[in-house]
Structure 1
Amino acid sequence: MPSDMPSGKTPGRRLVVVTGGTRGVGAGIAQAFAEEGDEVVVCARRPPQAPPDGVKGAKSLKGIEFVPLDLRDPPAVRAFFGRLPRLDVLVNNAGGAPYRLLAGADAERHARVIDLNLVAPLTASLAAYDLLKRARGSIVMIGSVSGTRPSPGTAAYGAAKAGLENLARSMAVEWAPDVRVNTLVVGMVRTELSHLHYGGEEGIEAVSRTVPLGRLAVPTDVGRAAVFLASDAAAYITGAGLLVHGGGERPAFLDAATVNKEE
């Protein structure tokens, strides 16, 4: 067995795989499981980088191993899971998309977004199924509010996330009672790259004011929710979608209406 793969089970420790777990939300998820005492393997195309000042990343934590893997390469994904001695939890986190209007690119380019955000989690889940069934483990899909509302500029991403949540529900029924499958429906998250999306600190603060809880999520918020869904406390939860969005978005019509305004 390669030296970069876990070799044996430590009593009381689960083996958790987090795809795309080298930065942002994925690093927060890996951190949360590591802090629970789990053995964590993160896989992505590129290794983790040293986190910026004030951002705690996976590289700084004990109990986390990195394995290079392109989730869009099915034979490589099957080989990766085939080398694991066991698996208790799979977190399908890898994904994302650039801002791209539908008419601004051809269908093939949009299809690549769907491949990463929907087909890759299906590929990983199928490759992991036998190990998870043996452990009576669980899968946590990282979904998005983009899958439940219009997503102009990221339409293919939103469509993929909608499909991912539906896939998880079907998977939960087909694979019960051996494997639980749930989805975290995640809203806006403040990561080391948020300034690029929201226009710096001023933009982040302005966007935060649109969230009922008054702030964007941080990666560990998502991580703790993932730990919960994979825990014994959620043993009777499968096929569910847990909203992690700070209360969502204030409906625009409330601000547009001219009645019931507070003085």
Structure 2
Amino acid sequence: MEKSKIGRRFEGKVAIVTASTQGIGFSIAQRLALEGASVVISSRKQKYGKIDVIVSNAAVNPSVDAILDSHESTLDKLWEVNVKTSILLLQDASPHLTKGSSIVFISSIAAYQPPSSMSMYGVTKTALLGLTKALATEMAPHTRVNCVAPGTIPTRFARFITDNDIIRNTIEEKTPLKRLGTAEDMAAATAFLASDEASYITGETIVVAGGMSSRL
């Protein structure tokens, strides 16, 4: 999106975006910065004295094994990075959150129907949906907590899927909008939930997948 078409919804605000050196995280950090935010990229110390927005985006998928074939070390890594790290980050950050602050978790459409090649990854992303609901209640009324569930996005993280022309074409055909999403699409949805325009939204997950979803 052109800079001239972007508003300034985060002027004077401080945002933390984890795993933001590439892909979806980078696009989110860039979008928030273009809208005026001071963005802390994956830092535990530099906090500008306050925190208005936290986007928890870090995730791994170290194995394509079935859940019952997964090594314990793999299960531990998936849970540690995809779920536990988000909780620890908020424990550290919560004393610095401002009134009216916003948390956005980045989950995945895999949370609703974990694919066979990413089963445990999908399960950890399902956990983020529950974490969103639980923390929305726990952190109300001063902090909102929401979630974005991206569809298939052609980033380095998903290249084992999107670099395969047959798989990519199949996904595009099954998607009502007939294309894969972009990191910028995810950034736009995240920026909306983090902004004051979503001030009466908490505990919700927005699926950004071109209409490809198993939800009613």
What TM-score do the two structures reach when normalised by structure 1?
0.71
* Aligned 8 A contact 2:207 2:213 in 1: no
Query: Partners in 1 of 2:26 and 2:177 — Cα distance?
Result: 23
Identity percentage over the alignment? 30
Question: What SS is found at the alignment partner of 1:233?
Answer: helix
Q: 1:182 aligns with which of 134, 137, 146?
A: 146
Query: Partners in 2 of 1:37 and 1:199 — Cα distance?
Result: 35
Change in Cα spacing, 1:203 to 1:150, as seen in structure 2 (3 Å) is closer
Question: What SS is found at the alignment partner of 1:136?
Answer: strand
- 1:234 is the counterpart of 2:198: yes
* Residue identity opposite 1:33 in structure 2: L
Change in Cα spacing, 1:192 to 1:115, as seen in structure 2 (3 Å) is closer
* Residue identity opposite 1:130 in structure 2: P
Change in Cα spacing, 1:109 to 1:202, as seen in structure 2 (3 Å) is closer
Question: What SS is found at the alignment partner of 1:185?
Answer: strand
Residue of structure 1 in register with 2:93 after alignment: 128
Question: Which whole-Å deviations, capped at 9, do the CAs of 1:206-256 have from their partners, x for residues lacking one?
Answer: 422221111111101000101100111100000111111110159xxxxxx
* Residue identity opposite 2:162 in structure 1: Y
* Number of equivalenced pairs: 204
User: Is the radius of gyration larger for structure 1 or structure 2?
Assistant: 1
Question: What SS is found at the alignment partner of 2:51?
Answer: coil
Which is worse superposed, 151-160 or 167-176? Answer: 151-160
* Residue identity opposite 2:28 in structure 1: I
Which consecutive unaligned segments of at least 5 residues does structure 2 have? 1-9
Residue of structure 2 in register with 1:32 after alignment: 31
Query: Partners in 2 of 1:243 and 1:225 — Cα distance?
Result: 9
Change in Cα spacing, 1:179 to 1:123, as seen in structure 2 (3 Å) is same
Q: 1:210 aligns with which of 174, 177, 180?
A: 174
Q: How is 1:64-79 mapped onto 2 (pairs within 5 angstroms)?
A: 67=43, 77=44
What's the offset of the Cα at 1:194? 4.3
User: Over aligned residue pairs, what C-alpha RMSD do you find?
Assistant: 2.1
Change in Cα spacing, 1:192 to 1:150, as seen in structure 2 (3 Å) is closer
* Residue identity opposite 1:14 in structure 2: K
Residue of structure 1 in register with 2:102 after alignment: 138
* Residue identity opposite 1:180 in structure 2: R
Change in Cα spacing, 1:126 to 1:214, as seen in structure 2 (3 Å) is same
Which consecutive unaligned segments of at least 5 residues does structure 1 have? 1-10, 44-66, 68-76, 251-263
What's the offset of the Cα at 1:169? 0.7
Q: How is 1:233-252 mapped onto 2 (pairs within 5 angstroms)?
A: 233-248=197-212
What's the offset of the Cα at 1:201? 4.7
* Residue identity opposite 2:55 in structure 1: V
Query: Partners in 2 of 1:192 and 1:108 — Cα distance?
Result: 23
Residue of structure 1 in register with 2:71 after alignment: 106
* Residue identity opposite 1:170 in structure 2: A
What's the offset of the Cα at 1:86? 1.0
Question: What SS is found at the alignment partner of 1:224?
Answer: helix
Change in Cα spacing, 1:127 to 1:148, as seen in structure 2 (3 Å) is same
What's the offset of the Cα at 1:96? 2.5
Q: How is 1:138-177 mapped onto 2 (pairs within 5 angstroms)?
A: 138-177=102-141
* Aligned 8 A contact 2:107 2:147 in 1: yes
What's the offset of the Cα at 1:142? 0.4
Q: 1:85 aligns with which of 45, 49, 53?
A: 49
* Residue identity opposite 2:103 in structure 1: I
What's the offset of the Cα at 1:103? 3.9
* Aligned 8 A contact 1:195 1:204 in 2: no
Query: Partners in 1 of 2:192 and 2:72 — Cα distance?
Result: 38
